[in-house]
Amino acid sequence: MDNPWARISVKTAVASLCTGLFFWFIYLARAALFPFCVAFIIAYMLDPLIDRMESRKVNRSSAIVLLLVLLTLISVGAALFLAPLAVEQVAALGKKLPGYIDQMENKLAPVIGLIPDMDTQEVKARVREIASSLGDLPLKAVNAAARGLWSGLTGAMGVVVALFNLVLIPVATFYMLKDFDSITESVSRRIPAPYRDRLLGVFRNIDITLSAFFRGQLLIAMFMAALLSSGLFIIGIPMGIFIGIVAGLSNIVPYLPVFIGLAPALILAYLSFGDIEHIALVAALFASAQAIEGLYITPKVLEKAVGLHPVAVMASLLIGGAFFGFIGVVVAVPAAATIKVVLVELDSDYLKSDFYLGKKNRDESEK
């Protein structure tokens, strides 16, 4: 006798194998696929705006070129603004660093004196030596990073890859945007008719979730950058504007601002002022910003479209980072939100299945 469960098991095994092979290929080809992933994300975010411009009788290709040029100008302008600001503030911090070391020496001297067999003068000499070497350390770090980046780009292969990606991303974005609607229509037509409506409904839910996440998180990151940079500047934290901008923009990845912004801001507050008041002000600024973002802005902007549990968010960040590095961390939450949409649909099917209801119970419910 033909066993339907055997057929389902074989289909499930084949589908699982194909899915596993697909993700294995994605993992192996992650470096080559990176520019196309960036191009797709840009195209996905800009497509609604392109459609709106096209509905107002603007040629689609012209609208795409206009938006890409505008996006490039904004990116270059932001880089030209942030790079000198970062160098200037890092240089200022480097000049103040020996004074910070002196403060630390004075604060630690009473504690060092309480330690048995500790040579206070030797410790002070070590601190002075560190202070003299750390004076120019921030600028040296920036210069070393710049030289490392330049040496990586000036290698023959580095130049080829960098230039290729630099050209490929906007070109791929242009063609994806140009044919975005036709591509989605072509894909939808190739879905088998019995499953088309159901799958298109799932894709629509995924689209709503991802649209809310990408566009909402971008707005939230810009708000957080403005709030944190202005707050740190008012408090008087060295490099406050730069730290605030970087921490705010990093809010695209959940929990990242705490590591990028809060820790260095607290350290600089202590070294600059040496009192609890400024440390409390910095902590209150970040706590208030996170509270405003979490309790008011995120629910309003994202409209609970993603709806992931905090534990699921942290797990997705760890898994994404372990497999794909920084890019995996960036895409972890939207990927988890997409998986959640699929799991909700599968759970709905499961709750209606013969296996869950039992054949007898299902027949009784239909009667």
The answer to whether position 95 is within a domain reads yes
Flag whether 239 is in a domain: no
Q: Which two tokens stand for residue 157?
A: 């292969």
- Domain membership of residue 141 as a residue range: 31-190
**Assigned domain for 5 exists:** no
Query: Is residue 205 assigned to a domain?
Result: no
Cβ count within 10 A of residue 254: 20
Collapsing DSSP states into helix, strand and coil, what is residue 43? Answer: helix
Is 110 among the domain residues? yes
Evaluate whether residue 77 is within a structural domain. Answer: yes
**pLDDT tens sequence across 1-18:** 455 555 556 667 777 788
Q: What percent of the chain has pLDDT over 70?
A: 72
Tell me how far apart the alpha carbons of residues 266 and 191 are, in angstroms, rounded to a whole number.
54
Place of tokens 């923009």: 249
Q: Could you tell me the CA-to-CA distances from 263 to 26, 174, 294, 324 in Å, in that order?
A: 35, 40, 20, 25
Q: What is the mean pLDDT of residues 9-30?
A: 77
For residue 176, pLDDT beyond 80: yes
- Number of domains composing the chain: 1
- What pLDDT is recorded for position 78? 79
The reply to whether the predicted model has a pTM over 0.85 is no
The token pair that represents 36 in the structure block:
């196309």
70 part of a folded domain: yes
* Domain assignment present for 86: yes
